[in-house]
Structures are given as structure tokens and as C-alpha cells.
Amino acid sequence: MDKHYDYLVVGAGLFGATFAHEAVKHGKSVLVMDKRDHVGGNIYTEKTEGIDFHKYGAHIFHTSNKEVWDYVTSLVEFNNFINSPVANYKGEIYNMPFNMNTFSKMFGISTPDEAVEILNRERAEIKGEPRNLEEQAISLVGRTVYTKLIKGYTEKQWGRDCKELPSFIIKRLPVRLTYDNNYFNDRYQGIPTDGYTALIEKLLEGTELMLSTEFSPSDKDKYFTLADKVLYTGQLDAYFSYKYGKLEYRSLRFETEILEESNHQGVAVVNYTDREPAYTRIIEHKHFMCGTQLDNPKTVITKEYPADWKEGMEPYYTINDEKNNSLYQKYKTLADEEGLLYGGRLADYKYYDMDDTVEAALKLAKEVL
């Protein structure tokens, strides 16, 4: 490739695409490369049987940041989807997040005062500072809610008993004393009416793409000759060839089925909160589109299984314990010393909601463009 660019962006996910969009707006030439054969990273969507399919798990855009909301909605239209998942515990269905609908069914009560009395009585079981995740959860919501809606789901997520998990994993558990099933508290919420891929494609207008191309640390000098500056959105430990060791992650495995039925579960997301089955949730994709795809006689569902991450697997969740955070700081120091531009969920080694990702990319763009 003979052409020279102002910026090479490694990663065509939301962070990289947002930065690339801002760079093009500033008159910069941008080459975007990605190891996958499509843009969008983990928010990639595609049509399957006429249904918008979230290939890498459910993504709902929610934010209280008006600047971010105005930014994304200026690019593509969003629907008015409200995330209202339910939990299935051994066939019992409970509304999420924990609210008066949940407590009414679980305890056979109807008023907030009754709920508070039961929750406080059960919370009192834990004396002193919680020593592990189980004690932390009980201190926040009591044993009944913990047993039915937290324990099995969390143990599947992390592959360990809740008594062996540190308490800091759950800092807070929202308890709503209202009959409100909206999972998020944010002011703005929705999903692009044409899917997230349409949003990414809009962000990448004016850039050049190089897909199905793995960024190899051993070849980075070759890639760096393509552009004056590089923005890297991948794993920072991989970028430095694991000089200090490997950061840890949790991964996911997906099983997707096309069913000959129009409405499988009546909601976009059902969490399975017992230890069995092995999957943590089932996603029925057509419900993300606010009823516009319900007349389709087929439906697409995805079962989501947590997995221990190994090299070669997709890293979905960072494990931000003391050991990994300390290791990450070593790589961050190397990156800063090198003057590398980096950002996003993997390069920053932190969990980002989508609005956080856009906000962070815009912040970086303002600093360097």
C-alpha cells in the first residue's frame, strides 16, 4: 500500500470509528483496519431472516449525557426501546431490576413499606464488613433475592462460587421501591432503527478500510509507515508482546438458533439465574425493534454462555482486581512513554458502556486533533 495517511486507526469498533469520524471532520486522511471481516466490533448487527441480529450479544444504548445522545442521533435514527429484562429462576419469572414488581411476586406483598421491612430483616443477617461477594449481596438485598436472582447467575458469569469471589465485584445493587421495570435510570435510551452497523458505517464515511487484517505487534513498524499517527484500540498487553505477562479477561460463547415461531419469550432478554442451565441468558433479537418485526413468522434467539478467556478468544470483560490493574499500569506507562494514542474498552482495560466509549473517543479527539 503506497498511500500515506494522517491516521491509522486499529480497530473499527465504536471507539475507533468515533475518533475516525472526528479526524475526517478535521480534514485528516484516515485508514481503519480491523481483524474481523466487518466493521462495528462487538456492536455489529446484521439482518438474519429479516431480523436485526446482535451478533456479539445484546447492546442497548443508554445515556444521561445529552451531548453524546445528540451526537449519535444526529448520525442515524434511534427507536424508543426500553430495556426491561426478566429473570427466570427454576421457571419462576421476576422483573428486573429489583423493584416492586419483583418484591410483590417474591414475597407476596404490595407496598414499599412491606418490602423495606423484609429486605432490612434479611440484610441484618450480615454483621460487620462483608468478606466475600455472597455476604456483600446479602447485605444489600437480603438472602431471598440473592439466592433466586444473583447467586447462580454470578457463579456462571465468573466460574467460581460466590463465597470465593471478592466483595468489590458488587459495589451496589439498585433497589427500586416503585413498580418500574426500566432497567436503566438514564434520560436517553434506544437502538438504531437500522442496527448498530448503520451507525458505524456513518461514522466511517470518508475513511478507507482494511478489514480481515490482524495487527501484529511484530509487524507494527510496517504499519506505522502507513500513517503519521496511530490510534490503537486493541489489548495493550498484546501490543507490547506480553512483556510483563498477560492481562486476564472473561469471555463469552454464543449459540444462535432460528426458530419457526413468531414470539419465543415475549421479551428481548431473559436472565437464567439458577446454576442450571449453563447459559446466563437468552436474547430474542426481534424484541429490540419495538414490535416492528413481530409479524415475522420466524425468530432468532441467542443463548449466552460465560467462558474462561484464553488467547485466541474474544476478550469481553476485564477483570479489574488489584493484580490485573497493577499489571495494566505497567503497560499504560510503556504506551505513554512511547507516545501511543490508545483508547476503548480493551486498550483502557475497563468496562465501558457505549456512551462512555463515545464520550472518551470525543475527548481524545478534542485533545489531539
Asked whether residue 177 is assigned to any structural domain, the reply reads no
pTM tops 0.85, yes or no? yes
Name the pLDDT band for 173 (thresholds 50, 70, 90): confident
| Beta strand 61-63 pairing with 51-54 | unpaired
Please identify every residue annotated as catalytic.
172, 176, 250, 281, 304, 351, 353
Q: Based on the fold, state whether residues 302 and 347 are members of the same structural domain.
A: no
Distances (CA, A) of 262 to 24, 76, 256, 258, 298: 43, 28, 16, 10, 5
On the question of pLDDT at 153 being above 70, the answer is yes
Residue 218 placed within a domain: yes
> Are residues 218 and 357 located together in one domain of the fold?
yes
Higher pLDDT, residue 86 or 308: 86
Q: Based on the domain organization, do 243 and 340 belong to the same domain? A: yes
Q: pLDDT at position 180, please?
A: 96
CB under 8 Å, gap of 24 or more: what pairs does 260-264 form? 260/297, 260/298, 261/297, 261/298, 261/299, 262/294, 262/295, 262/296, 262/297, 262/298, 262/299, 263/294, 263/299, 264/299, 264/301
How many domains does the chain contain in total? 3
Instruction: Say if residue 351 is in the same domain as residue 285.
Output: no
Tell me what the pLDDT averaged over the chain comes to. Answer: 96
Q: Are residues 199 and 340 in the same domain?
A: yes
CA distance 309 to 137: 25
Q: Are residues 123 and 146 in the same domain?
A: yes
DSSP strands (E only) in 128-248: 188-190, 208-210, 227-232
Q: Which domain holds residue 17?
A: 5-81+188-248+318-368
